[in-house]
């Protein structure tokens, strides 16, 4: 079956002498691994390049019994070259790609695709200290689009409303914040100040927030712990770990 869809390159490596294997997030076919035959030899079918984070109109031959599909063509619409020109941007975009490839499936998810595209565009334009906030905000929106956003306004266990101005305990295993009573009964939670909770609420709503370096590290750890708990995936988060250790103030 030939499927025409908008697609973004999230991972790529050379295959044999002339081809490339790509992992794509697509708007109409979810996550797909594809073989671009002759991509390193001819630009006719694949435009000017199939670089990381490039977005374009793809034609894919999909067969349910195959793990590796065939790409017929790829017309690049956005190259996002700016993501490779700044280390903070590149690290954030790489962490995003790793997350999406773990969260996504072969089912269409237009909301997830749109969140990926918008976040990569925003990262390409972000400067300095804003880069990490854009990346974190986009990742929380991607998590929400995948179907498991954290509960932040109510207790994730007993559903009692929480005071927006008060500190709460964030429990990845419970799916979000807990009231004091439930927090005492639930091991493994992490204290979440009211301001930090408000920042995540804004990010989930698509509102930009810039935070300082210590807060960046805390938010990265919180997000990673939450996703790891719900994915139950034992593989190491290599790109995300590089982002956590390599993020700077952008100066």
The answer to whether residue 170 sits within a structural domain is: no
Whichever domain contains 224, its CATH number is 1.20.1440.120
What is the model's pLDDT at position 95?
97
What is the extent of the structural domain holding 105? Answer: 82-150+189-246
pTM: 0.91
The answer to whether residue 160 sits within a structural domain is: no
What is the model's pLDDT at position 62?
95
Q: Smallest Cα–Cα separation from 29: which of 114, 121, 116, 113?
A: 113
Q: Which long-range contacts (CB under 8 A, 24 or more apart) does 11-20 make?
A: 11/52, 11/97, 11/101, 12/50, 12/51, 12/52, 14/40, 20/50
The token pair that represents 232 in the structure block:
């139950």
- Pick out the chain residues at pLDDT < 50: 249-251
Whichever domain contains 29, its CATH number is 2.40.50.140
Task: For residues 130 and 29, state if they share a domain.
Answer: no
Are 131 and 155 in contact by the 8 Å Cβ rule? The answer is no
Query: pLDDT tens digit string along 24-52?
Result: 999 999 999 999 887 666 555 665 567 89
CA atoms within 13 A on the CB side of 185: 10
Q: Smallest Cα–Cα separation from 133: which of 233, 207, 70?
A: 207
Task: For residues 54 and 103, state if they share a domain.
Answer: no
Overall number of domains in the chain:
2
Task: For residues 32 and 117, state if they share a domain.
Answer: no
């Amino acid at each position: 079956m030939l499927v025409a869809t908008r697609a973004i390159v999230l991972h790529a490596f050379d295959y044999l002498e002339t081809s490339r294997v790509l992992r794509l997030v697509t708007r109409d076919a979810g996550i797909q691994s594809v073989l671009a035959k002759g991509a390193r030899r001819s630009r006719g079918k694949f435009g000017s390049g199939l670089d990381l984070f490039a977005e374009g109109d793809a034609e894919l031959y999909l067969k349910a019994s195959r793990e590796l599909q065939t790409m017929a063509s790829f017309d690049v619409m956005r190259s996002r070259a700016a993501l490779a020109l700044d280390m903070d941007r590149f690290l954030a975009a790489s962490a995003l790609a790793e997350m999406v490839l773990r969260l996504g499936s072969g089912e269409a998810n237009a909301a997830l695709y749109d969140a990926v595209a918008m976040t990569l565009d925003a990262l390409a334009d972000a400067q300095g200290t804003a880069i990490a906030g854009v990346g974190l905000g986009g990742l929380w929106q991607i998590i929400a689009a995948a179907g498991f956003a954290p509960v932040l306004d109510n207790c994730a266990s007993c559903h009692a409303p929480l005071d927006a101005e008060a500190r709460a305990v964030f429990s990845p295993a419970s799916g979000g914040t807990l009231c004091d009573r439930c927090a005492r009964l639930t091991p493994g939670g992490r204290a979440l100040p009211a301001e930090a909770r408000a920042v995540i609420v804004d990010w989930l709503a698509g509102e930009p927030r810039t935070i300082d370096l210590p807060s960046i590290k805390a938010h990265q750890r919180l997000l990673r712990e939450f996703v790891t708990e719900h994915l139950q995936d034992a593989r190491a988060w290599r790109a995300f770990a590089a982002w956590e250790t390599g993020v700077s103030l952008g100066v």
